Structure 1
């Protein structure tokens, strides 16, 4: 369970669409407050998904090859195949579908949003395919062991790490952060498609391989 959660958490943390949106939120007027609201709602959604899974399993992992265990592995396999397919699609069509004016329109809209709207964006902009893969992995958590609590905490922190790092940077070094995050935004807008392809294919192949091993072992 731990390797799966680490890879999925890192994939969520660096998912380009979420990171780009958060950089735009931080760049808005009162961006630090809006960024904090975004992070709180993002993390609350994370915890709610984990809680729902753990309540449904009673905090005990299902036996190997049981219907719940097989279903969880099948979900990860489906998500992995979907990510690989999405990465391939973006690789084939991304260059032809790029529209450079889109980011500026998004930036203008996010600059005018309220703190409450920023909070609503947190759950909406999570990469839900990866979140679903994480939920399927958490089915195997055994809450009678301290290691499971540690793994779940690490997963939550990893999935939010990029947002937390940018938020803290903007709070404690606002002038420097404005310049650095501006450069990051420019880079993401220019290389977003390549980043999406890379993250989707790498995490997707990992999930496919892990789920096949779990289904056949």
Structure 2
């Protein structure tokens, strides 16, 4: 369970789309407070999913080969296959000429050189966090949390570590902005530009690697 949660948390925290959106939130009016609203909503989604799964299982993992256990593994297998197919699709699409997209991106950047989002409200920032939550990866985590045994401290530590790591990139950007706002503004803008240029390869690699792992791990557990 721990390794599965670790890999999924890394995939969530390195997802380029939420990071780029969060950088925009931080660059908005009173961005630190908007960023805090974004993070709280992001955390609320993760905690809510974990709580619902634990409420369903009662904090005790279902016995091996039982219908709930098999259903969780089947769901994890389906998500893994879905991620592989999605990554392959994105890779195939990314091979097409990107000149029009790049020109559009340059025009947008020219019209908004600072990449700001104006006077975004905290509620809008929170809604954006919910919208951009990588729900496919969160669903994959839910299929793993089914195996959590709350009678052992290690399960609590694994769940806490998952939530913390899945939010790690956002927390790092928020704290950086709080303690070094001028330097953070410049470097986060550079990070956003870099992510815009490399988001497709990152998404493709992340989906393929995690999808293959979830698929192989699920097949092994279903057949062993």
Q: TM-score range by the shorter chain?
A: over 0.9
Alignment partners' CA distance in 1, 2:153 and 2:74:
27
2:134 pairs with one of 121, 127, 151: 127
Rg bigger for which structure? Answer: 2
Query: Which stretches of structure 1, 4 residues or longer, exceed 6 Å deviation after superposition?
Result: 105-109
SS in 1 for 2:199: helix
Alignment of 1:125-204 (within 5 A): 125-204=132-211
TM value normalised by structure 2: 0.91
CA contact (8 A) 1:34 1:118 kept: yes
Once the two structures are TM-superposed, the CA of residue 184 in structure 1 deviates from its matched residue by 0.4
Alignment partners' CA distance in 2, 1:18 and 1:207:
22
TM value normalised by structure 1: 0.94
Q: 1:165 to 1:109 in 2, by over 3 A?
A: closer
Structure 2, unmatched stretches of 5+, are none
SS in 1 for 2:96: helix
CA contact (8 A) 2:11 2:210 kept: yes
Query: Counterpart of 1:71?
Result: 71
SS in 2 for 1:59: coil
Aligned residue pairs, count = 217
CA contact (8 A) 2:79 2:136 kept: yes
CA contact (8 A) 1:24 1:111 kept: no
Once the two structures are TM-superposed, the CA of residue 75 in structure 1 deviates from its matched residue by 1.1
Structure 1, unmatched stretches of 5+, are none
Alignment of 1:1-217 (within 5 A): 1-96=1-96, 98=98, 99-100=101-102, 101=104, 104=109, 110-217=117-224
SS in 2 for 1:144: coil
CA contact (8 A) 2:27 2:116 kept: no
Higher mean displacement: 72-81 or 100-109:
100-109
